[in-house]
Amino acid sequence: MPKGSVLVVGGGIAGVQAALDLANSGFLVHLVEKTAAIGGKMSQLDKTFPTNDCSACILSPKLVECGRHRNINLLTLSDLISLDGEPGSFRAVVRQRPRYVHPAKCIACGLCAEKCPKKVANDFNMGIGKRKAAYLSYPQAVPLKYAIDPAHCIWINRPGRCGICAKECPSGAINFDEKVQEHALEVGSVVLSLGFSRFNPSGLDFTGYGRLPNVVTSMEFERLLSPSGPSKGHLERPSDGREPKKIAWLQCVGSRDINRAGHPYCSSVCCMFALKQSIMAMEHAHGDLASSIFFMDMRTHGKGFENYYSRARDQGVRFHRARVHSVIPAEAEGDLKIRYVNEDGRVNFEEYDMVVLSTGLQPYKQTLELAAMLGLELDADNFLKTDSFNPVATSRPGIFVCGAASEPKDIPQSVMEASAAAVEAGRILAPARWTETISKHYPLERDIHAAPPRIGVFVCHCGINIASVVDVAALAAYAGTDPKAFADPTTGKELALAQYGQGADIIFHASGNTGKGVFNAVSPSSRKPCATRA
């Protein structure tokens, strides 16, 4: 009899989807994530192409469901260090680094971060701005628990010199004595959803990256556009905080470049990424914004992608088929001058307020190390090798892969592959289905037919999707005037911050006096976990 559990390594959108599919199919899932929260690269995005939907509204319900699923064992700050055995019976050893904050005691009040005196670069915001050594990865983080960065914590590095977070924590959650733990897990199959890293353009001196502050990567620009980013969604350039009036996107930085980057392949998503950002930048700008994209080929190969390309042209985005020679400082402080050769062979110069580098996708260094440890073959570009007719199977039986660990791909394709990998991982364990899972027990229903009607109204106002057209505060005040409606002045704030754990608690406690809930959100499913619990 094979084991009835599966190990999923990597907590991005692909890993989360694979974990949910497996857990809902009757298998116990151990989800291993190297950072303090699941969500991966998608959690850093503002919008997704080609629909410009809110990334958090798509991702967050899945994260919440994953974090609360009784058959998903979430192991954050963890790494797979060994795997022995064969399909149906693997023994995995996972090393978990200390969080220094007890998850069961932490109430996510934020006092530890508020009082912490140590400021460090905010890695979630790609190094733009600061966070504290005691931190929450991002506002919608799952688990919604703080962590302490051991590399920067004053107490951990010099015991006795600080410890203010432990003094201020109202629930006594801080524990500096936590140690590294190792978990031995018996699993039947493994799914690797290891994700990708972005090419670092600092070695390409022609871009000016690292020397010119207003030259940023596409992920840095994405954080500048995000409401949870360092500028709260206001379009600002890093050098002086001024709103740019003219922005250029340079394509294929670190892709399709053998001589300087060593990456001959196309990264697949960069063209659409630039189109999305050029459109969204225009929506964020308070005045006219001139957007230009310098490209070799615009590769818009997915469903609806070519229409998105046409939409960008119709909205005034300029396209230059050219390879940029250099980005240099312009005469005005902070401005940039691009030198390029057009299709007629003429040298041109053009000035911009900001330059965005569309950096390519590449495997993590840790992916190569993990592949060597597991005995997995790599392709010529150092991605995990798969077969064209079995694209989720690695070279080792029982170990499957999904997402960008096998080749660059966008979110929909990663999610599709995650479900395929889940099917394959579960197929070889079919006899053990439901043998290690925990059953769900429902509470007794209340008879409310004779009770007076009570209606709870919950409205989110994240970003610009709803708040730009609806006065949410006035709507909440109006709803509170109805004697049949339940109103809580803190609810709007909590849900606007997308603090799903806290928001669900408010709805859950309100349900004692509420017979029906009305939800208004960016997408119908964005509050599903809250409603389901209530």
Give the closest residue to 63 by CA, choosing from 158, 177, 143. Answer: 143
Cβ count within 10 A of residue 258: 9
Dihedrals phi, psi of 191, to nearest 5 degrees: -120, 125
State how far the Cα of 58 lies from the Cα of 39, in Å rounded to an integer.
Answer: 11
**pLDDT of 29 strictly over 90:** yes
Quick one: 230 and 108 in the same domain? no
Is the domain of 351 the same as that of 371? Answer: no
Is residue 448 in some structural domain? no
d(CA 289, CA 333): 19
Q: Which residue has the tokens 């597991």?
A: 374
**What average pLDDT does the structure give for the chain?**
89
Amino acid letter for position 137: S
Closest to 316 measured CA to CA, from 252, 247, 253: 247
User: Which 8-state DSSP code applies to residue 364?
Assistant: -
* Closest to 285 measured CA to CA, from 310, 333, 328, 317: 317
Q: Are residues 90 and 187 in the same domain?
A: yes
pLDDT tens-digit map of 403-415: 999 999 999 999 9
Instruction: Judge whether 21 and 416 are in contact, CB under 8 Å.
Output: no
DSSP assigned state of 387? B
Amino acid type, 140: Q
**Residue 258 is part of a domain; what is its CATH number?**
3.50.50.60
In a domain, 24, yes or no: yes
Q: What is the dihedral of CA 102, 107, 111, 116, to 10 degrees?
A: 20
Contacts of 410 (CB under 8 A, 6+ apart): 49, 268, 269, 272, 302
Question: Which pair of structure tokens corresponds to residue 494?
Answer: 């909590």
Tokens coding 276: 């999305």
For residue 157, give Cα distances in angstroms to 112, 146, 150, 151: 17, 19, 7, 8
Domain boundary (310, 337, 360) is at 360
> Is 445 inside a domain boundary?
no
pLDDT bucket at 189, cuts 50 / 70 / 90: very high
3-state secondary structure of 79: strand
Say how far apart CA 373 and CA 388 lie, in whole Å. 24
pLDDT value at residue 449: 80
Of 321, 345, 360, the residue at which a domain comes to its end is 360
Q: Rounded to an integer, what distance in angstroms lies between the CA atom of residue 308 and that of residue 293?
A: 14
Residue 109 forms part of a structural domain: yes
Q: What pLDDT, on a 0 to 100 scale, did the predictor assign at position 254?
A: 95
How many other C-beta atoms lie within 10 A of the C-beta of residue 297?
A: 11
How much is the pLDDT for 427? 97
pLDDT at site 444: 87
Q: Is residue 144 part of a domain?
A: yes
Residue closest to 126 by CA, chosen among 224, 14, 241, 199: 224
Which pLDDT score is estimated for 506? 44
- At which of 410, 440, 470 does a domain end? 440
Q: Write out the E strands in 105-264.
A: 119-121, 130-132, 134-135, 147-148, 181-187, 189-192, 197-198, 215-217, 246-253
Among 87-101, 405-419, 440-454, 511-525, the least confident range: 511-525
pLDDT in tens, 236-283: 999 999 999 999 999 999 999 999 999 999 999 999 999 999 999 999
Determine if residue 503 is left, alpha or beta; phi over 0 gives left, psi from -120 to 50 gives alpha, anything else beta.
alpha
Please write the tens of the pLDDT for every residue from 444-483.
Answer: 888 878 877 766 666 666 666 677 777 877 877 777 777 6
Same domain for 245 and 330, yes or no, is yes
Residues 162 and 255 in one domain: no
Structure tokens at 401: 């892969």
pLDDT confidence of residue 446: 82
Percentage of the chain exceeding pLDDT 70:
88
DSSP secondary structure code for residue 117 in this structure: -
Q: Pick 122 or 493 by higher pLDDT.
A: 122
- Rounded mean pLDDT, 195-216: 96
What pLDDT is recorded for position 505? 42
| DSSP string over 253-303 | ESSSBTTTT-B-S--SSHHHHHHHHHHHHHHH-SS--EEEEEES-----ST
383: containing domain: 1-97+180-196+363-440
Q: Looking at the predicted structure, is the pLDDT value of residue 509 above 90?
A: no
Q: State whether residue 144 is helix, strand or coil.
A: coil
Is residue 449 assigned to a domain?
no
What is the pLDDT at residue 445?
85
Residue 494 has pLDDT above 50, yes or no: no
Q: Are residues 370 and 354 in the same domain?
A: no
Is residue 490 predicted with pLDDT exceeding 60? no
Least confident window among 69-78, 297-306, 402-411, 483-492: 483-492
Q: Which residue has the higher pLDDT, 77 or 455?
A: 77
Is the pLDDT score of 487 beyond 80?
no
Q: What is the mean pLDDT of residues 167-188?
A: 97
Same domain? For 236 and 304 the reply is yes
Distance from C-alpha of 293 to C-alpha of 350, rounded to nearest angstrom:
12
Whether 24 and 51 map to the same domain: the answer is yes
- Provide the number of structural domains found in the chain: 4
pLDDT above 50 for 510: no
Domain holding 102: CATH number?
A: 3.30.70
- Give me 375's structure tokens: 């005995």
Residues 48 and 188 in one domain: yes
Q: What confidence category does residue 154 fall into, taking pLDDT thresholds of 50, 70 and 90?
A: very high
What pLDDT was estimated at residue 475?
77
Same domain, 311 and 413: no
Cα–Cα distance measured from residue 249 to residue 252, given in angstroms and rounded to the nearest whole number: 10
Band of the pLDDT at 517, cuts 50, 70, 90?
low
Tokens read off for 526: 């964005």
pLDDT of residue 283: 92
Residue 162 lies in a domain: yes
Residue 447 lies in a domain: no
Check: CB of residue 1 under 8 Å from CB of residue 402. Answer: no
Reported as a single tens digit per residue, the pLDDT across 109-125 is 999 999 999 999 999 99
Q: Are 240 and 329 contained in the same domain?
A: yes
Residue 137 has pLDDT above 70, yes or no: yes
The neighbour count for residue 159, using CB atoms within 10 Å, is: 10
pLDDT for 239: 95
Same domain, 8 and 88: yes
